[in-house]
Structures are given as C-alpha cells and as structure tokens.
Amino acid sequence: MDYYGSQIGKLIEELSRLPGIGPKSAQRLAFHLINLPEEQVDHLANTMMNARHNVRYCKTCYTLTDQEECPVCRDMQRDHKTIMVVETTRDLAAYEKTGKFEGVYHVLHGAISPMLGIGPGDIKLKELMERLQGDVDEVIIATNSSLEGETTAMYISKLIKPTGIKVSRIASGVPVGGDLEYIDEVTLLRALEGRTQL
C-alpha cells in the first residue's frame, strides 16, 4: 500500500536500499528531507553526485580520491620505498589517523576469498606487483586478520619473496575478524611496530 503518494514512497524505497538503513529509518530520513529547505536538499544531492562522478582510483596506490594521484602519493616528504598493503580506503584512513606511518599505501579493494569466489585477479594485486618493479625496500601487509585477510597476506608474501623485497605482516594485535577501521589508534600502532618479517 502506498500511503504517501508515489514520490514519498519512492524516496523511502531508495533510502532503505542504503546499508544499515531499515524501513523505519528510511521513513524517518525521507520525512526529514522533505521538511528541509529546498536549497539544503539540492546541496546534499549535488554533493552526492559530485562525489560519485569525480571520485576515482589514485593512479599509483588505488585509494579513492578525486585527483589523478592522492595526497599521500603526492607527498614527497613520505617514504615511497615502504608500501603498506591494506584492503580498503577506510583501512588507509585508519592508519593515517595515527599520523605515525610515513610510508605510502597500496589499496587492494578486497581480499582473496575462495568461499566467495574472489580470486587474486579480482583485487588490485597485479597493480601492486607492477609497482614493486620500481624502487621499493619493504612491503608491510596490513590486511585484516580474518581468514580472507590471512589468505591474502600469505598469497602476497609468496609472490613477493622471490623479488628479494622485504615483506612483513602487522602484529596479530588486531583482533580476528575485526575491521581495521574500528580499531583504536594505539592498537594499530602496536600492530605496525610489532610487525614480523615473513
């Protein structure tokens, strides 16, 4: 039953497709939006559209950015010979928040999961290997400590070892199955400092 007329109904339906938004929240958000001044809604819609249209992968590390190369990769003060491999842009943000990592990153956009049918070709692994043909001293694997994260870490270390580049894995201070972005900065720092060579 469409109690509200199709426009409101459609808005509620679209909002309820967003992650973490149930039917009740969708309804609440829809009425909130409808009660906002028109220009505020225009601004919100434009911000969403601009972000969607302009955000792309950094050509070097594959994090999400609105420039050809992200600010971390463009920063010449950083150590470009130390690359930390993370699963997502959110993980990168978590490490950046600690302010203590001076190297650069590589974002895989996922992890290998035979169960979900995600293979090495489905993440940005080939791109990492291409990068390693340049001048690189160390690769720190900071994938999550989930089964998928560990599988990916093992796979990557096997690929890199023959190149002679140092490979290390962050310490297992990161709880199993815990997403990096929810872990506090102290734990992240400890995991980074306590990394072991593979």
Binding positions for Zn ion, rule: CB under 5 A: 58, 60-61, 70, 73
**Comparing C-alpha atoms, which of 137, 193, 136, 147 is closest to residue 170?**
193
Under a CB-based contact definition with an 8 Å cutoff, are residues 154 and 128 in contact? no
Query: Least separation, in Å, of the C-beta of 120 and Zn ion?
Result: 21
Of 62 and 146, nearer to Zn ion (C-beta) is 62
Query: Least separation, in Å, of the C-beta of 109 and Zn ion?
Result: 13
- Block residue for tokens 């434009």: 46
Under a CB-based contact definition with an 8 Å cutoff, are residues 11 and 30 in contact? yes
Of 58 and 123, nearer to Zn ion (C-beta) is 58
Query: Least separation, in Å, of the C-beta of 105 and Zn ion?
Result: 7
Query: Least separation, in Å, of the C-beta of 62 and Zn ion?
Result: 7
Of 15 and 142, nearer to Zn ion (C-beta) is 142
Joined tokens for residue 110: 């996922």
Of 73 and 128, nearer to Zn ion (C-beta) is 73
Under a CB-based contact definition with an 8 Å cutoff, are residues 85 and 76 in contact? no
Query: Least separation, in Å, of the C-beta of 184 and Zn ion?
Result: 25
Under a CB-based contact definition with an 8 Å cutoff, are residues 112 and 118 in contact? yes
The sign of the dihedral angle between the CA atoms of 113, 118, 121, 124 is: negative
Of 70 and 84, nearer to Zn ion (C-beta) is 70
Residue 181 DSSP one-character state: G
Query: Whole-angstrom Cα distance, residue 111 to residue 147?
Result: 9
